Each structure stands twice: as C-alpha cells, then as structure tokens.
Amino acid sequence: MEPLFGVVLGLILAVASPANDSCTCATNKWAVCAQDSPGNCTCRLAGSDHPVDCSTLTSKCFLMKAEMSPLKEKRLWRPPRGVADGDGIYNPDCEASGAFRARQCNQSSTCWCVNTAGVRRTEKGGRSLNCSELVRTRWIYIELTHKRSSKAFEVPDVVKALRQLFESRYKLRPKYIAAIKYDPPLIQIRLHQNKKPRWDVDIADVAYYFEKDVNNDSVFQSNSKLTVSVNGDALAIEKLWIYYVDEKPPEFCMKQLAAGIAAVVTVVLLTAGIGIAALLILKWLRTRTYKKFECKEMREIKTTSLE
C-alpha cells in the first residue's frame, strides 16, 4: 500500500510543479502569484494586495507602491533611483482602480497635488492642502539619444521599429502615438491621450514601463534587457528624458517665481550700478587729468609772456 501511495504522491507533485512554475505574472515581476486550483492562477500586488491583470500593464501608482514594499526574500532592498517628478520615490495613495489620488502625503504630514502620472503639480503643504481634482496628463514627450553607430539608420525604419515596440511590448494602441521624429542621434516621441477608456493602457503607465526598461530595471517578469532592432541592427539607447503636459497648467506658488525674478532684477541692478559707477569714475579721472593739463599749459603761457 505504501509503495502505491508513494507513486501517486510523486505523480501529483510532478503535475503540480509545472503549474506552480507557470503561475507568474508576465507584465509585473513584483506580483505575488498563487495556484488556487488547476488552471487558475491568481496574482496580487506586493504592498497593496490588489489583484493584478497580467494581460496588460499595471498602473504606475500600484507599481510605485510595490517598489516601496520590501521583498519577502531575506536580502536587502534598495528602492530604485527616484521617479519621474524628480522628488524621489514615495509610497503613493492609490484608488481601487489603480489611479493616483489627487493628494499625496508622506509620513511627515507634508502633502502635494499630483496629476494622473503621479507627478507633483503644486507646492508642498500641510494636511490642510486641498486637491479638488486629479488633473489628467494629456501629452507625454519622450526624448532619447542612441549611441553613434558606423551604420546610419533610415528615418522610416527607426519610426517603424519604435511604433512596433510601443504597440507590441507596451500594448499601446497606434492612435495614441501622435508622432515620432528622428534627427540622429536624437529621437522624439509624442504620446497623446485625451481620455483613457477602461480597456486601454494609460500613456503614463507606458512611459513608466519604458523608463524602467531603458534603465535596465524592467518591470516585466522576464526582466530582460530592452533591445530595439532596426532592420536587424541594435538601436542602443543612451539617454532618456520624459516630459509631462497636463490638461491644466501646474499650480506652483508664485512666491518662488517672484523670489527668482527679484534675484534676477537685483543682479541686473547691481551690475548696472557697478557699470554706471565705473563710468562716472572714469569720466571724473579724465576730467581731472584734462584740468591738470589745462592748468599746466596756462602756467607755461604766462611764463612765456613775462619773458
């Protein structure tokens, strides 16, 4: 009886092992997946326990929250270097849908308003700060440069390769890729999305995934290095800049702007004052020299007349 039980147990483990191995989230390496039943794999996001749809991109807000959560493995966890807004990584407050909440706060009770890309659009304030709405990021401009190659790339080939990349890897519909321009080695990509239907990916999520790929910190489960091929030749991306444009202009306080303008005005006035003072001193020195010369000539004339 025992040998038969051992055989049955071995068969069960042999069948279960591949299932467990295949229970992963292809679009999110931070998702924690479990096999609920044969053929049913459930994935949840580390740090928030939200279910993850592994057939599409995970929202940027959920990704940032997962990045701030320590891994379960017994090793040190180093958060990635900052986020797109330049204020450093923070643990965001997310809606159930994965959208950023309009007001974000840190542990020191400092709050600020963000757009749909999670980028700060106001000055930082206290808990009383009111963010009445989540302003949508409508345009995203991506600028990148590639390493110089002995073989020149043709403009149509580069445009085609990048369009295929955004459509296949990031599941972005072609209508949201407004333009791609190539002036070696600079590449400019403009994404435009006025409204995001529920079934479409957000351009902010696409930009974040792309940024992580370029920085060799891919969110995809494979964690493979991004390779862009143009007619069989690698397009090695060297530098990347991402700019966000919202439906409404940012609401940064005018105090800093006024202080900056005042500083510039002060420098200009000081420079002008020093210049004017230098001119007056030079004029005075010239006048004094001329008067001395004039007095000397008059003395010489008087002496000559007396003789």
What is the pLDDT tens value at each position of the chain, 307 positions in all? 444 444 444 444 444 334 345 788 999 998 889 888 777 888 988 777 789 999 999 999 999 888 887 644 433 333 333 234 556 578 899 999 999 999 999 878 899 999 999 999 999 999 899 999 999 999 999 999 998 775 678 999 999 999 999 999 999 999 999 999 999 889 999 999 999 888 999 999 999 999 999 998 899 988 677 888 898 888 889 899 999 999 998 887 644 444 455 556 666 677 777 878 878 888 777 776 655 555 555 555 555 555 5
- Give residue 50's pLDDT: 85
| pTM: predicted TM-score of the whole model, two decimal places | 0.71
- Give residue 79's pLDDT: 36
Domain ranges of the chain: 137-246
The answer to whether the beta carbons of residues 131 and 103 sit under 8 Å apart is yes
Q: How far apart are the C-alpha atoms of 87 and 295, rounded to whole Å?
A: 70
Q: How far apart are the C-alpha atoms of 208 and 240, rounded to whole Å?
A: 12
Which fold would CATH assign to domain 137-246? Alpha-Beta Plaits (3.30.70)
Non-local CB neighbours of 272 within 8 Å, separated by 6+ positions = none
**230, 242, 239: which is closest to 190 by C-alpha?**
242
Q: How far apart are the C-alpha atoms of 110 and 124, rounded to whole Å?
A: 6
Q: How far apart are the C-alpha atoms of 293 and 307, rounded to whole Å?
A: 22
What own/partner pairs with CB < 8 Å and gap ≥ 24 does 126-132 have? 129/103, 130/103, 131/102, 131/103, 132/102
Q: How far apart are the C-alpha atoms of 130 and 112, rounded to whole Å?
A: 9
